[in-house]
Amino acid sequence: MSMLLSSRPSRRDALGMAGAFFTWVHAPRFASAAGTRDMRLLTIVLRGALDGLAVVPPLGDPFYLGLREKIALAPDGANAALSLDGFFYLHPAMTELARMYRAGDALICHGIATGYRGRSHFDGQDVLESGATGPATVDDGWLNRFVLQLPRGHLVQADQVAGGRPLLGVGAIPPLVVRGQAPVVGWMSGSFQELPRETADRLLALYRMRDPEFERVFAEGMALDASSKGGDETTEARPKGGKLAERMARVAEGAARIMAGPAGPRIGALAFDGWDTHAAEGGALGRLASRLEGLDQALASIETAMGAEWKNTIVVVVTEFGRTAHVNGTAGTDHGTGTVMFLVGGGVRGGRVVADWPGLKGPDLLDGRDLKPTLDVRAVIKGALSESYGISDAALSETVFPGTRSQKPLQGLLKA
């Protein structure tokens, strides 16, 4: 009798064993110090320079209309923008974010940027994710350095000897923001092809007999896959919107499911591309609007997937820089500076727009073209980290975001 046939595990067995391993590896250790809320922190990097003036149009600014012309949004009529506070509005594609805003779960920062003033995506993203003062300075991310600053025994802290991995990096290569010395577990949405279950089972059985290292690794991969789907593939809610929105929502949902689990990594990062709208950007409808719908659905999926953990969740949505205030000759916008940033989650003290509005009058534009940044991304993130994890100012200003001693963390970003 062939050993293979008689010992072929059911899928449940395979997952059970793999799930047990996964749990052991990620078992949270309880903190002794203060800051004992079991936070979930997910960073979404929007690659390509998100047009902040399109997502959160300042309809109350008298110069907005003249700058944005044919792609301008309107406070009324068909596809009207959604009012936030009567001055700032929200792009009509982002109905979920608007709902979260009204519920006090979304905080919007405007006129914000990193310290970087060049206009290269490559370097801008490097600065955004590395948290350094300039590009090509360090090759790890601020989230990773932050995890290393947490006290030993903290919920999130990994015991590297046991193989714990506190950080989730979504994508074929984990985003830079999450890379570094602290171990990262990688995951990708299976939207490009479903894992052939039958073959996977047989492969696992073969590895069990022939290659213990492959067995361990492959089993973990299958467990992550199952964990991201919540174990029941038939009842996945179908998000509204086109294929793009669906894909984005699925990625976010999977990441959130993994992080929401009692033994899952508490800190994660994922990236969405495609925000570089040099041509045919569109106004209330069009290229950017479709992608914003996807981002909106992604945020809603995270909220749903986090479930009871949403009240302790912070989602940080950032981009490397903004876009020109003017529309260009191809109905799009070019690289700029000031833009928007979101903090979304049940843990956020939201329902407001944080901005030191520089205005859109000609002389008030940076280099005569860009929204001037009056807030720094790092000050906001430092505030969020310090309030939610009780991490020291020194650690934040020297290690997590080196060279930011003079930047005071923003206070009062989170609910008590």
Partner 1 sequence: MTPSKMDLVIAKRFGLGIRPEAATGERPDVRRLISDEIARGAHLPAVDGLLDTPATIDLVTKLKRAKASSISDMGRADEEQNPVVPTLAPNEIYRREAAVHFEAASSSRLGFAERIVWFWTNHFSVATGKSMLLKALAGVFEREVIRRHAFGRFSDLLIAAETHPAMLLYLDNQSSTGPASPTGARRGAGLNENLAREILELHTLGVHGGYSQSDVTSFAKVISGWTVGGLTTSKKSTVPSGFIFDVRRHEPGPQTILGKIYARPGIEQGLAILVDLAAHRSTARFIATKLARYFVADHPPESLIRELEQVFLETGGDLRHVYTALAASAAAITPPFDGIIGQEEFVVSCCRAFDVAPSTPLLLRYLMELGHPLWNPPGPNGFSSNADQLATPQGLKNRLVIASRLARSSRRNVRPDILLGEVAGQPVSDETREAVMLAESREQAFALIAMSPEFQRR
Residues at the site binding partner 1, with contacts judged by CB under 8 A: 2-5, 69-70, 120, 122, 136, 139, 172-173, 176, 185-188, 190, 192-196, 198-200, 202-203, 205-207, 209-211, 213-214, 217-218, 220-225, 279-280, 326-331, 334
Closest CB 326 distance from partner 1, rounded Å: 6
3-state secondary structure 294-339: HHHHHHHHHHHHHHHHHHHEEEEEEECCCEECCCCCCCCCCECCCE
Can you give the C-alpha Rg of the chain in angstroms? 22
b/e map 122-150, b = 16+ CB within 10 Å: eebbbbbbbbbbebeebebbbbbbbbbbb
Which lies closer to partner 1 via its Cβ, residue 2 or residue 10? 2
Which lies closer to partner 1 via its Cβ, residue 142 or residue 218? 218
Closest CB 292 distance from partner 1, rounded Å: 20
How many Cβ atoms from other residues are within 10 Å of residue 115's Cβ?
18
Query: What is the DSSP secondary structure assignment for residue 176, as one 8-state letter?
Result: G
How many Cβ atoms from other residues are within 10 Å of residue 232's Cβ?
8
Which lies closer to partner 1 via its Cβ, residue 2 or residue 235? 2
DSSP string over 147-162: HHHSPTT-TT---GGG
Which lies closer to partner 1 via its Cβ, residue 68 or residue 291? 68
Closest CB 81 distance from partner 1, rounded Å: 19
Which lies closer to partner 1 via its Cβ, residue 112 or residue 127? 127
Closest CB 232 distance from partner 1, rounded Å: 20
Closest CB 167 distance from partner 1, rounded Å: 14
Smallest Cα–Cα separation from 131: which of 172, 87, 179, 169?
Answer: 179
Residue 366 sits at φ, ψ, to 5 deg, of -70, 130
Which lies closer to partner 1 via its Cβ, residue 136 or residue 394? 136
Closest CB 327 distance from partner 1, rounded Å: 6
